Amino acid sequence: MFFAKLHPLLVHFPVGLLVSGVLFELYGNLRGENSVAQAGAFNVRFGFWCSLPVAVVGFLGVMSIEAKDEFKPFLSRHILFAFSTVFLFLGVMLLSRFCDRTWGKMVYYFFLMAGLLAVLGAGYYGGELVHRFNLPVGP
């Protein structure tokens, strides 16, 4: 139960880094402000690396709770979005090496936007688990 209680406390840091990083990077590249785009790219990279231990803590937390039928769909969607977030931002990290090519830049921005949507989806379902179903404390 320790990891299930720890995960909601830790998850906000990488989520904030990833969301702000995507927004800064998109804004900086669209407006031609290189320093903002670089700050966004740094936040995305740092947020990705910070999300890995938080994902492990979340996985250990899931193993320590009893999954009831009433919140299983929310839990499975939260896990799906969380793993999608990690894999999409891994793709962002790998694709950043190919941003000098036209196809690389297009695929990079696609992964960046898809990663942002995955973070928001994981956050929505995680928030529902905590606030609607009172996980991990229970009723």
User: Is 139's pLDDT higher than 80?
Assistant: no
CA–centroid distance for 123 within its chain: 8
pLDDT digits (tens, 9 = 90+) for 33-49: 999 999 999 999 999 99
pTM: 0.92
Residue range 62-86: average pLDDT?
A: 94
SS (H, E, C) 22-89: HHHHHHHHHHCCHHHHHHHHHHHHHHHHHHHHHHHHHHHHHHCCCCCCCCHHHHHHHHHHHHHHHHHH
Residue range 15-34: average pLDDT?
A: 97
CA-wise closest residue to 22 among 44, 48, 39, 38: 44
Q: How far apart are CA 48 and CA 62, in angstroms?
A: 21
Q: Where are the domains of the chain?
A: 2-131
Say what the pLDDT of residue 138 is: 55
